[in-house]
Structure 1
Amino acid sequence: MTNAARAPALAPFRQRSFRFQWPADLATSWAFEMETLILSWFVLAATGSVVWLTAFGALQFVGTLISPVYGVMGDRLGHRRLLITMRASYAVLAALLAALALTGTLTMAAVFTVAFLSGLVRPSDYGMRNALIGATMPAPWLMGALGIERTSADAARVVGALTGAALVAWIGIGFAYVAVCGFYLISVLLMLGVEESRPNGGARSIGAVWDELGAGIAHVRATPPLLAAMWLAFLANALAYPLTGGLLAYVARDIYGIGQTGLGSLVACFAAGALVGSIILSAQGGRMPPARTMLAGAFLWFALLLVFAVVRTAGSGMVLLAVAGFVQSFCMVPMAVVILRVAHERMRGRVMGLRMLAVYGLPLGLLASGPLIAWFGFAATALLYAGLAIASTGAIMLRWRASLLPLDAPANALQR
C-alpha cells in the first residue's frame, strides 16, 4: 500500500504546486483576518455606530460585481499570474495604511478608501485560488485538496483574529499593519513556486471578454447543480455570514459586553470549529456525496444560527459559534467540489468568478442588518436571517432535487 493510500489527507502535498500554494494562501488569509479585525474595531471605536461598521464591511466586497471578469482573466492569462498581481496590490495598500498609522494621520476617510480599493480585488481571491487547485490537482485528490485549502482560511481566521487583537494592543495599529504587509509579501514570493499549465490564451479585446463571460453564464444556467450551488452560496453569504462575521464586533461590545480581545475570541471560536471540519473533510470527504453533504450542512448551520440569535452570554455564544463553524465546512467545501467537478474544464475560472458573485450577498446582508438591528434589535434580525435561510435552502433542495439528491447524480459522484 502506498503512503498516499495510507494517508489520503496528505496526498495533495505530493503536488509541488500545492506545496507552494497552500502556505501562500495561508499567509494571505492570515493577513485578511488581521486587517478585518483591526479595522472593524477601529471603525466601531471611532464612530460607535453599527451602521458605519456594516458599511465598512460591505465596502470590502464591492469587487464581487466584477469577479466574473477576474475569472475570464484567470482562464486567459493564468490563475497563478493573476493571484500574484492581486496579492502584490494588497501589500501596497497595507503599506499605505501602515505609513498613515505610524505617522498618526490615519483617518476614517483613509480606512474607507483603502477598504473600497481592496474590496475591488479581494473577493475574487478565494475563487481564483480554488480554480488554480482545480487546474493543478488530480481529480481523486480534489476533495482532500479543497478541504486542506479551506484549513488555510480557517486556521488563519483563528490565528489572525487572536494575533491581530494582540498586536494592536501590544505594538499599536501601525506596526501591526507592517506585519500584515509582510504576510502579503511572503505570499507573493511563495506563489512564484507554483506551476500551472499554459493558459488558454493571452489578452483579448473587451468584446471577446464579454463573449467568454456570456458563455460561462450560459454554462451555469444550463447545468442544474451549478445553478443550485450558486443560489445556496448567495444565501449563505447574505443571511449567515453577516451574523458570524461583520456583526461580531457589535455582538462582542453591545450584546456580550466584552472588548477587542473578546472579539478576537469570538472570531477564533467560529474559525476553530471550521478548521476541525475542514480537517475531517480533507481526510474523509471523498466518502461523502458532495451535493447531499452540502445541503445537510446548510440546514444544520442555519438551525444553529437560530439558537445563536437568542443567546446572551459570551461563553454560550462561543460554543455555538464553534459548532456552527464546524458544520458550515460541511456545506461550503462540498459546494466547491460540486462546482469544480461539474463545471467544464475550460470554464473553471469563469464559473468560479460567477460563484464569487454570490459573495455580493454578504455586503447586501450587512447593509440591511444595520438598520434592522437599530430598529428591532440583534435577536429579531438574526432570527429573521436564519429563518429565511432555512426556508430558502428547502426551496433550493425541492427545485433541483433531481440533480442534488440521487446518489448516482454527477453532483454526488464519490472520489475514486
Structure 2
Amino acid sequence: MHWRDPFRVRSFRFQWPADLATSWAFEMESIVLGWFILVESGSVMMLVVFGSLQYLGSLVSPLFGVVGDRLGYRRMLVLSRALYAALAATFMLLAWLQALTPMIVLMMAALAGLVRPSDMMMRNALIAQTLPPRHLLGALGISRITSDSARIAGALAGAGVVAWLGMTWAYALITALYTLSFVLSRGVSDVPASAHDAVRVSPVRDLQLAFGYVWTRPVLMAAMALAFLVNLLAFPFSLGLLPYVAKNIYLTDQTGLGWLGASFAFGGLVGSVVLSSHRFAFRAAQTMVLAGAVWFAVDVLFAFSTHLGVGMALLWVAGLAQSLSMTPLAAVMLRATEPAYRGRVMGMRMLAIWGLPLGLLLSGPLIDRWGYATTAGAYSALGLLLTGAMAVYWRSNIWDAKAPANAPL
C-alpha cells in the first residue's frame, strides 16, 4: 500500500486539509490564550482551569458518538467547525475592543470545550466510514501527521503572531483558519447514519450497549486504561502547563514557549511518518505499551530539566513516544470494534481525555505546595509504574505476540 492511496478517495481529499486547518487553529489558540491567561492573571491555578475547560466536552463525547451514529459525522463536523469560527470571531472582536479578560476567556473556553474534545473522534470515525478497510491504518497515520505538523506551525505561529502583530491579528488568522476548515468540511462525503438496529432504541440504551461492549472486551479496556493514564499523568506537562514551564522554569518568553511546543509536536510528526511509511512491522498493542512507558520515563527527566535546549530535546523524544503510542492505540480500538459500534466506542475513548483536566486541576495545588519538579516527577514515575502493571494485567490480550491486537500495523 502506498501512502498516497487514501487521497484517491474524494472525501479524504477534502477532510485532510479541513482537519489540517482546524488543527493549526487549535494549536495557535491554545498557545495564545494560555499565555494571555498566565500574563494577565499571574495564576498557575487559573492556567490549569483554562486547560481543563478545553476538555470539558470529553464527559459528553459518548453522546456525540450516539448522535454521530444516528445523524452522520459529516453534519456534526460542519456544525462544530462553524461554532469554532464564530467563537474565534468573537475573540477577535473583543481583542480589538480591548475588552478581553481572563474570566471571558474561561467562559468561552468552556463553551468551545463542550465540542472540541470530540473533534478527533469525528475525524477518525469519518475516516473509518469513508475509506476502504485496507487504507484505514495509512489514513490514520496521515491524519496524525496533519495534527503533529499543525502543532509545530501552530505553536510557532501563535506565539510569533502575538509578539509581532498583537492579539487581534492573531485571532484574525485563527478565525480565517476555522472558516477555511468549515468550507472544506462541506466537501466531505455525507455517510448515511448507521442502521445497526432494526428498531431504533433510545440514546440511553445506546450508551448502555456501548459501555457493555467495551467492558466485555479486554483489548478495548486496556486501550482505554492506557489512554486515561497518559492524559492524567503525561499530557498535563506537555500541554496545559507548558506556559508555566516556559515562564517559570526556563525563564523564557512567548517565542521560547512556541519552540517548546514545536519540539514536542516535531517528535510526534517523526513518529507519525515512521508509522505511515509501512517500513516497519510494528506489533500494534506492544508498541502502544512500550512507547507509553518510554514517554513516562522521558517525562521523569523533563521534570528536573532547567535548561531550555535540554527541555526541547526531551520534549522531542516525548513527542516521538506519544505518537508511537497513541496512533497504534487508535488502530487497535478501531480494528477491535465492529463498524456499527465505532462511533460510540470512539466517543467513549474520548472519556479518557478527562484525565487531562483532572491531572491539571490536581497539579495546580500540588505545584504550589511541593514545587514543579517534585510534582512532575511524581506524576511521571506513577505513570511508568501503572503502565507496567497494566501490561501485566492484560498480558494475554495486549502483550502476547500471537494476540490479535498485535497484528502488524
The one-letter amino acid of 1:366's match is L
How far apart are the structure 2 equivalents of 1:206 and 1:104? 50
TM superposition score normalised by structure 1: 0.95
Q: Please give the residue correspondences for 1:220-369 in structure 2 after superposition, counting only pairs within 5 Å.
A: 220-284=214-278, 287-369=281-363
Match of 1:143 in 2: 137
Contact 2:300 2:381 (8 Å CA) reproduced:
yes
Please say if 1:175 is aligned against 2:186: no
User: Are the counterparts in 2 of residues 299 and 390 from structure 1 also a CA contact under 8 Å?
Assistant: yes
Question: In the aligned structure 1, how far is the partner of 2:247 from the partner of 2:317?
Answer: 22
2:104 corresponding residue in structure 1: 110
Cα deviation digits, residues 321-364 of structure 1 (max 9, x gap): 01110111110000000010001110000001000000000000
Q: SS of 2:194's equivalent?
A: coil
Q: Which amino acid aligns with 1:123?
A: P
In 2, the alpha carbon distance for the partners of 1:372 and 1:74 equals: 39
Q: Secondary structure at the match of 1:299?
A: helix
Once the two structures are TM-superposed, the CA of residue 139 in structure 1 deviates from its matched residue by 2.2
Deviation at 1:196, TM superposition (A): 4.0
Query: Structure 1 residues 346 and 206 mapped into 2: Cα distance closer, same or farther (>3 Å)?
Result: closer
**Contact 1:143 1:286 (C-alpha < 8 Å) held by counterparts:** no
CA distance in 2, matches of 1:371, 1:285: 45
* Shift of residue 191, structure 1, vs aligned partner: 1.2
**Aligned partners of 1:163, 1:78: CA distance in 2, in Å?**
34
Any conservation in 1 of the 2:75–2:190 contact (CA below 8 Å)? no
- Contact kept, 8 Å, 2:233 with 2:380, in 1: the verdict is yes
Please report how far the alpha carbon of residue 182 of structure 1 lies from its aligned counterpart in structure 2 after TM superposition. Answer: 1.0
The offset of 1:414, in angstroms, is: 2.8
> Which residue number in structure 2 is paired with residue 56 of structure 1?
50
Report the Cα offset of residue 213 of structure 1: 1.1
For 2:203, the equivalent position in structure 1 comes to 209
**How big is the shift at 1:194?**
1.3
TM-superposed deviation, 1:128: 1.2
Secondary structure of 2:80's aligned partner:
helix
> Quick check: 1:409 aligned with 2:398?
no
Contact 1:135 1:196 in 2 (8 A): no
Which residue, out of 46, 53, 56, partners 2:40? 46
Q: Is the 8 A contact 1:143 1:285 kept in 2?
A: no
Counterpart amino acid of 1:109? M
Instruction: For 2:213 and 2:272, locate their aligned partners in 1 and report how far apart those are by CA, in whole Å.
Output: 29
Extract unaligned runs of 5+ from structure 2.
none
User: Per-residue deviation at 1:406?
Assistant: 2.3
SS in 2 for 1:246: coil
Assess, with a 3 A threshold, how the Cα gap between structure 1 residues 169 and 142 changes in structure 2: closer, same or farther. Answer: same
Alpha-carbon contact 1:77-1:201 (below 8 Å) kept:
no
Amino acid across the alignment from 2:289: L
Mapped partners of 2:318, 2:284: distance in 1? 19
Of residues 374, 389, 393, the one that matches 1:395 is: 389
Which residue identity is paired with 1:347? Y
Displacement of 1:201 in angstroms is 5.8
The code of the aligned residue for 1:270 comes to F
The answer (yes or no) to whether the contact 1:127–1:352 under 8 Å persists in 2 is: yes
Aligned to 2:84: 90
Aligned pair count reads 407
Number of the residue aligned with 2:149: 155
1:376 matched to 2:370? The reply is yes
Match of 2:178 in 1: 184
Query: Partner residue of 2:26?
Result: 32
Conserved? CA contact 1:154–1:274, under 8 Å: yes
Q: Deviations over 1:45-80 (max 9, x none)?
A: 011111111111111111111000001111111111
Cα 1:355–1:159 shift into 2, 3 Å = same
Contact kept in structure 1, 2:74 and 2:191, CA below 8 Å:
no
Distance 1:285 1:208 in 2: 45
Whole-Å separation in 2 of the counterparts to 1:247 and 1:59: 14
Structural RMSD (CA)? 1.6
Contact persistence 1:146–1:333 (CA under 8 A): yes
Q: Identical aligned pairs, as a percentage?
A: 50
2:309 and 2:102 map into 1 onto residues whose CA distance is 32
Q: CA deviation at 1:145?
A: 1.0
Please state if 1:17 is matched with 2:11: yes
What is the alpha-carbon distance in structure 1 between the residues aligned to residue 82 and residue 287 of structure 2? 36
Asked whether the equivalents of residues 144 and 285 of structure 1 are also in contact (C-alpha less than 8 Å), the reply is: no
Whether 2:379 is the aligned partner of 1:385: answer yes
Q: Is the 8 A contact 1:61 1:359 kept in 2?
A: yes
Q: Could you tell me which amino acid in structure 1 is paired with residue 387 of structure 2?
A: T
Amino acid at match of 1:186: L
Shift of 1:206: 11
SS at match of 1:288: coil
CA contact (8 A) 2:69 2:194 kept: yes
CA distance in 1, matches of 2:201, 2:176: 38
* Distance in 1 (alpha carbons) for counterparts of 2:259 and 2:305: 16
Q: In structure 1, list runs of 5 or more residues that go unmatched.
A: none
Task: Tell me the equivalent position of 1:74.
Answer: 68
- Return the alpha-carbon distance in structure 1 between the equivalents of residues 405 and 9 of structure 2: 25
